[in-house]
Chains A and B, each alone.
Chain A
Amino acid sequence: MKKILRVALPPIFTAIALLVAWEIAVVVFKPAAYLLPSPIAILRAANIDSHQLINATLSTAMSAGLGFVIAAVVGMVCASVLSQSQFLQRGLYPLASLFQMVPLVAIAPLLVIWLGYGLSATVASAAIVAVFPVLANTLDGLRSTDPALRELFRIYNANRFTRWWKLELPSATPSIVTGLRIAAGLAVIGTVVGEFVSGYAGEDAPLGMVVLAAMRSARTDLVFAAVALSAAVGFVLFGAVSFLGWLSLRKWHASTLSR
């Protein structure tokens, strides 16, 4: 518990200090509310529109979560397949990297054309940005398996699947966790970009749509509230992945042992 506090308290204090400074700055310099609302004004706006914001947050969290899970599964499966064959790796991996270079904002309209407005397009958008870090890190981890341990499995006549399942995958776990943590943050970015392009208005409009609508009606306080909530979605997803990663590594990996 003491350890947790020691890690958690400094960033919490810093955040509180920044918010207080912001509040004071707004009181002292009195900028127009549509330029920079104060933290308290943002909270008030969030409270008034809480129903809409909660729905929006759930909708965004759903897209980001689904997109993340798809990216995680697709990324790990593809990396595992690629790791088993130099030929496939040479043929496909550069294409996968190229895929990463395509700006998401540019392909989001295509997703709407193919998948229509709504959840499918935002989930696809999240999955597309999140898949590459999972793929790249998993592949890297699978390929960095200790050759001495590979030889050990060869001595025991382990077949390819057994070697992957019992040696390469566990040994790649630290890299996979790193990839998943990066993917968690990216999934939320992908979701919100997807929502900008393919979002839908109404009761359960996602956070991306709330941001757009609030901007158009000069409700900067609501824009801030929605941005903060989308960051919170990313934070929760990141935290959950980090926790699961810690659980799987805590007993053996240097990153968790030495702390």
Chain B
Amino acid sequence: MRNASHGTVRNVNLHGGLGVHVRGVSHIFDGLQVIQQADLQVEPGGFLAIVGDSGGGKTTLLRLIGGLLAPTRGEIVFTASGEMNAGESARGTSSQSTQAVAQTSSISFCFQEGRLLPWRNVLDNVALPLELNGVLAHERRAAAREMLAKMQLSDSENKMPAQLSGGMRMRVAMARALVTRPKLLLLDEPFGALDEVTRLALDEELRQLWLDTGTTAILVTHSIQEAVSLAQQVVVMRGKPGRTMQSIAIDLPKDAAHRTNMQFVSLCERVYQQMTLQSKEVARVAQ
């Protein structure tokens, strides 16, 4: 697999995300089909949101992309920046290629629960991925401090997770996900448990971080508004087993006021229509 990232985490090219192509991926877990023929495509540095019902396979699809699960059928191919026409050479069998990428830490996850280690302070939580990658103590702390400074979290570096609010915990979890300078950031309902005001603030912060780092982002969310306001394209997953519907391109000016803009509302409406299709229509509209 031709991938610009190899060797230590710090060598990862800051500017340039991974392109992700999911082709005809199905997943069967314990004899139950969870995902059927899912397709999606994100360009390097792009931002894609997956929305859909609970239990519709969104999280499973994200875990397949992240290499935590292996697809039963189909393939997931990654391309590095500038390799968009080199699809053939970048193609591997799905599970192998996902594993290979995950091992270079160029993929990061951010989960709804934050998953901070409660016995470690903020700084050591953020430094954890580097620590587990064998980065020396002073180097990983410097990198973690830099990330915390970027997110205006420096004042909290000695706090324990139990001392933080839900929103702060998620910001620390985001800092940890980004400290490895990932080329692909997978976000599983990261702000699902937060209040609306905090959520809006963190959405904006996430958008800014995505722009700054140039990473590719795939966000799984229940919120249509969140999906439309952050992503460049939205994919709806419907039915059981979950199928991906035709992707909806979002070409909105991403300024602070865009959530009240008419175009935003009509895009939300389109996503909503796909989400409320009757099941027989799902099969027809599915890619």
CA A9 – CA B98 in complex, angstroms?
62
Closest B residue, CB atoms, query A258: B162
Is A156 a contact of B128 with CB atoms below 8 Å? Answer: yes
**Which one of B111, B133, B161, B162 contacts A156 once the chains associate, using CB atoms below 8 Å?**
B133
CB distance from B194 to the nearest CB of A (A): 18
CA A236 – CA B117 in complex, angstroms?
32
Q: Does B256 contact A (CB under 8 A)?
A: no
Is B105 a contact of A257 with CB atoms below 8 Å? Answer: no
Q: Does B115 contact A (CB under 8 A)?
A: yes
Is B118 a contact of A151 with CB atoms below 8 Å? Answer: no
Is B161 a contact of A252 with CB atoms below 8 Å? Answer: yes
CB distance from A163 to the nearest CB of B (A): 9
Q: Does A25 contact B (CB under 8 A)?
A: no
CA A167 – CA B111 in complex, angstroms?
18
Which residues of A in the span 122-179 have a Cβ within 8 Å of any Cβ on B?
A: 148-149, 151-158, 162, 166-167, 170-171, 173
Closest A residue, CB atoms, query B159: A251
CA A151 – CA B113 in complex, angstroms?
13
Closest A residue, CB atoms, query B132: A156
Q: Does B191 contact A (CB under 8 A)?
A: no
Is A252 a contact of B68 with CB atoms below 8 Å? Answer: no
**Which one of B102, B113, B119 contacts A155 once the chains associate, using CB atoms below 8 Å?**
B102
Size class of the B contact interface (CB-based, 8 Å) = 20 to 34
**Which one of B113, B129, B133, B160 contacts A148 once the chains associate, using CB atoms below 8 Å?**
B113
Closest A residue, CB atoms, query B114: A148
Is B68 a contact of A149 with CB atoms below 8 Å? Answer: no
Count of residues in A whose CB is under 8 Å from the partner chain: 21
Which residues of A in the span 238-259 have a Cβ within 8 Å of any Cβ on B?
A: 251-254, 257
CA A167 – CA B116 in complex, angstroms?
11
Residues of A within 8 A of B131 (CB): 166
Is B115 a contact of A149 with CB atoms below 8 Å? Answer: yes
CA A229 – CA B232 in complex, angstroms?
75
Residues of A within 8 A of B113 (CB): 148
**Which one of A154, A158, A162 contacts B68 once the chains associate, using CB atoms below 8 Å?**
A154
CB distance from A237 to the nearest CB of B (A): 25
Is A162 a contact of B117 with CB atoms below 8 Å? Answer: no
Q: Does B66 contact A (CB under 8 A)?
A: yes
Q: Does B93 contact A (CB under 8 A)?
A: no
Which residues of B in the span 126-182 have a Cβ within 8 Å of any Cβ on A?
A: 128-129, 131-133, 160-162
Is B133 a contact of A252 with CB atoms below 8 Å? Answer: no
CB distance from B58 to the nearest CB of A (A): 17
Given A148-B113, A170-B119, A173-B119, the answer on whether A153 and B132 have CB atoms closer than 8 Å is yes
Residues of A within 8 A of B118 (CB): 252-253
Is A155 a contact of B128 with CB atoms below 8 Å? Answer: no
Q: Does B287 contact A (CB under 8 A)?
A: no
Given A157-B102, A252-B162, A257-B162, the answer on whether A152 and B115 have CB atoms closer than 8 Å is yes
Point out which of B115, B119, B160 has the most chain A C-beta atoms below 10 A from its C-beta. B119
Q: Does B78 contact A (CB under 8 A)?
A: no
Closest A residue, CB atoms, query B113: A148
Residues of A within 8 A of B162 (CB): 251-252, 254, 257
Is B160 a contact of A155 with CB atoms below 8 Å? Answer: no
CA A148 – CA B173 in complex, angstroms?
13
CA A148 – CA B117 in complex, angstroms?
11
CA A42 – CA B102 in complex, angstroms?
71
CB distance from B54 to the nearest CB of A (A): 18
CB distance from B56 to the nearest CB of A (A): 21
Q: Does B47 contact A (CB under 8 A)?
A: no
Residues of A within 8 A of B133 (CB): 156-157
Is B103 a contact of A157 with CB atoms below 8 Å? Answer: yes
Which are the 10 A-B pairs with shortest beta-carbon distances?
A156-B132, A252-B118, A170-B119, A252-B119, A158-B132, A152-B115, A251-B160, A252-B160, A156-B129, A148-B115
Q: Enumerate 24 A-B pairs (CB-CB under 8 Å) in ascending A order.
A: A148-B111, A148-B113, A148-B115, A149-B115, A151-B68, A152-B115, A155-B66, A155-B68, A155-B102, A155-B109, A156-B129, A156-B133, A157-B105, A158-B132, A166-B131, A166-B132, A167-B117, A173-B119, A251-B119, A251-B160, A252-B118, A252-B119, A254-B162, A257-B162
Give 19 A-B pairs besides A149-B115, A252-B162 with Cβ atoms closer than 8 angstroms.
Answer: A148-B111, A148-B113, A155-B68, A155-B102, A156-B129, A156-B132, A157-B132, A157-B133, A166-B132, A171-B117, A171-B119, A251-B160, A251-B162, A252-B118, A252-B119, A252-B160, A252-B161, A253-B118, A253-B119
Interface residues of A (CB under 8 A from B): 148-149, 151-158, 162, 166-167, 170-171, 173, 251-254, 257
